[in-house]
Structure 1
């Protein structure tokens, strides 16, 4: 009972910290991963705060699958496919370049490291974080094409980094060096097996979910899916990461005919809150690890280790910048040749931002903590504690330093807000509204004249909406009418809501009736929310 109460207390404390740090991040306009990791860092030194060890299995088996699934669900397959060549040059090429670069240079800048230990360290820190980079990039308004590349890279490179780590650990623990053919076969099975099994799980989930129309059940099933994809694939020693990503991208393409509108709203609302809590948990836990990490390196020269960490972090940043320029240009060249199209070569300033946005996160720390404690002969794993410490320093430098400098860098390069208005969305809304008007006009021809006044009223509403999308070309009177319609609709919704609450307070309706009325009003009013207000 005591253990259960301790776990409950720790969970409540973490949840409280997540809420407080999330609100602070919103108040000061800073991406929440940065605030949460710094908050966890400070909390770790508060007397009386429980020491919470970060279990690698908790990350890889509990936290990672739903977070990857949510990121994949939010990914556009069209944009992912468009930038696939560049993404692969980063997710595979950059990981390999980083691992080999650290293996060659690491022994020269890190005392006590040979090429084998440097290989392990390089594999640990090679993957970028799937949440930190994109949440920060979206928060500061980077162009969508940059965010798409960063998001795609971070979704895939976990798998390649973990494969490289597996090989590197085998070299250190047993002294065996994998063959090139064996490595290529493992990479092929990791990739093809992971993607194939992920698509299979996604197809099964789609077949099941399209036959269900119950919000709570479908939410529960949506939680099960990423774990099923990950565990099934991991059981056959393929990439659970790629399986979850493939499953998520497949299902998001099918979600239009998989969910009813009501269920889609419920599922979306749940996952928005669920991923925020998981992300917050991850970043706060990273910060809370510092006291434990410092305790494990007692007897070391701390100032010298911090200097080593700073130099190593600079090395990683330089390796990424060295790769992204040729990698981006080669990826663009391959894309043009395969698609038989001509696209603009990425601008150097855009490529530089991609290179600067190489944040590391919880996967790297979990990978470092998962290193074996002993070798095959029973001797301690060399430099294990130093590797964990260096990984923590890299996370702090890349996430906090690069994350905080990204906004002024983007502004200095003239990329801030360069994405401009979402013309695709505007054009889609115009086409959708015109289709609705055309359908209403066809109804007018088929139905009796007694419906004309109803159709006129609906068509008038659509025309006002259409006018608001084209203010430069539209009749100013129509635009004015649309905004007046929105303002009056919001005001009347407020009156309806207040009246319903008054009826509840007077005992004339119960709370269940009030909730149903409020839900209808909320859904109706949400149609009038400007995307910029969200």
Structure 2
């Protein structure tokens, strides 16, 4: 069975799960898909299934993150932006370093790990996707703001965590020692560059929306912006993930403004 056949089967499974709980009232779809994926791994026809890392990173990630970003409430992001951005940057940095320190000293008791390796492992473990938590919070009363903060932070921390992972990985591969100044400098450049590319591409898309409201053209422009911002940022050595997320957030604000003008 070719990888195309396997992907078609997985797509069919995804559609069936989505149809079983279309309103997502009973269980989080992503959790169910993950469990089904684990179950399918034990079936012989999927034993040789593999997807290259660059396919996951360059094909699936930009589209998924862009959709999540522009579907996120522009009003909720605007009112909670300081908290969300602080948690996704300073919070992520602090958590990675604290966990890295914990891994470093804990591993010394069993199997000593170098500081760079400990920090690299922390950068892998820290990012979260709290889909179940957000789902529960949204169904609870009086905690909408908390749910928005958690969801917004989760959306942005994908970008910051990949930036941290990439920087630490380069230090490990080159065999050089860890430098906090070099780390912070690289983090600021890569992150700011990604945000800048996202703002520019999002602004261009926002201007183009003035010329058309046809659904087909909107889809094409959205796809072009999602992958264009990602590839452009990666080409210049910036964070493609942050560029995609920021361009999606700009699009969310553009849709809100367009709906306000129509009304």
TM-score band by shorter chain is: 0.7 to 0.9
Determine the structure 2 residue equivalent to 1:90: 87
Determine the structure 2 residue equivalent to 1:29: 26
Determine the structure 1 residue equivalent to 2:222: 222
Shift of the 65–130 alpha-carbon distance from structure 1 to 2, 3 Å rule, reads farther
Distance 1:137 1:108 in 2: 35
Q: Map 1:32-47; keep pairs closer than 5 Å.
A: 32-47=29-44
Task: Give the aligned CA root-mean-square deviation in angstroms.
Answer: 2.9
2:74 touches 2:256 (CA, 8 Å); kept in 1?
no
Q: Which structure has the larger Rg?
A: 1
Determine the structure 1 residue equivalent to 2:10: 14
Distance 1:48 1:10 in 2: 8
Distance 1:15 1:136 in 2: 26
**Residue 69 (str. 1) matches residue 71 (str. 2):** no
Matched position secondary structure for 2:44: coil
Offset of 1:212 from its aligned partner? 2.9
Q: Which has the higher contact order (CA 8 A, sep 6+)?
A: 2
Determine the structure 1 residue equivalent to 2:174: 174
Query: Which structure 2 residue ranges, 5 or more long, are not aligned?
Result: none
Offset of 1:149 from its aligned partner? 0.6
Determine the structure 2 residue equivalent to 1:52: 49
Offset of 1:13 from its aligned partner? 0.6
Distance 1:238 1:95 in 2: 18
1:31 touches 1:139 (CA, 8 Å); kept in 2?
no
Shift of the 213–197 alpha-carbon distance from structure 1 to 2, 3 Å rule, reads same
Offset of 1:141 from its aligned partner? 6.6
Q: Map 1:374-523; keep pairs closer than 5 Å.
A: none
Shift of the 85–167 alpha-carbon distance from structure 1 to 2, 3 Å rule, reads same
Distance 1:113 1:258 in 2: 57
Distance 2:167 2:242 in 1: 18
Shift of the 146–51 alpha-carbon distance from structure 1 to 2, 3 Å rule, reads farther
**Residue 196 (str. 1) matches residue 192 (str. 2):** no
Offset of 1:33 from its aligned partner? 1.3
**Residue 79 (str. 1) matches residue 76 (str. 2):** yes
Determine the structure 1 residue equivalent to 2:156: 156
1:78-106 CA distance string (max 9 Å, x none): 32233233223321233223322232222
1:167 touches 1:178 (CA, 8 Å); kept in 2?
no
1:274-316 CA distance string (max 9 Å, x none): xxxxxxxxxxxxxxxxxxxxxxxxxxxxxxxxxxxxxxxxxxx
1:79 touches 1:148 (CA, 8 Å); kept in 2?
yes
TM-score (norm 2): 0.84
Offset of 1:28 from its aligned partner? 8.3
Distance 1:37 1:7 in 2: 19
Distance 2:106 2:180 in 1: 28
Query: Which structure 1 residue ranges, 5 or more long, are not aligned?
Result: 265-431, 433-534
Determine the structure 2 residue equivalent to 1:239: 239
Distance 2:106 2:183 in 1: 28
Of 103, 106, 121 in structure 1, the residue corresponding to residue 103 of structure 2 is 106
Shift of the 72–130 alpha-carbon distance from structure 1 to 2, 3 Å rule, reads farther
Shift of the 20–76 alpha-carbon distance from structure 1 to 2, 3 Å rule, reads closer
Distance 1:46 1:180 in 2: 46
1:163 touches 1:187 (CA, 8 Å); kept in 2?
yes
Shift of the 88–113 alpha-carbon distance from structure 1 to 2, 3 Å rule, reads farther
Determine the structure 1 residue equivalent to 2:210: 210
Offset of 1:109 from its aligned partner? 4.1
1:19-51 CA distance string (max 9 Å, x none): 233345569811111111111111111233343
Shift of the 73–190 alpha-carbon distance from structure 1 to 2, 3 Å rule, reads same
Offset of 1:65 from its aligned partner? 1.2
Aligned pairs, number? 258
Distance 1:184 1:60 in 2: 24
Matched position secondary structure for 1:81: helix
1:210 touches 1:257 (CA, 8 Å); kept in 2?
no
1:44 touches 1:51 (CA, 8 Å); kept in 2?
no
Shift of the 253–131 alpha-carbon distance from structure 1 to 2, 3 Å rule, reads same
Distance 1:195 1:84 in 2: 14
Q: Map 1:289-368; keep pairs closer than 5 Å.
A: none
Matched position secondary structure for 1:121: helix
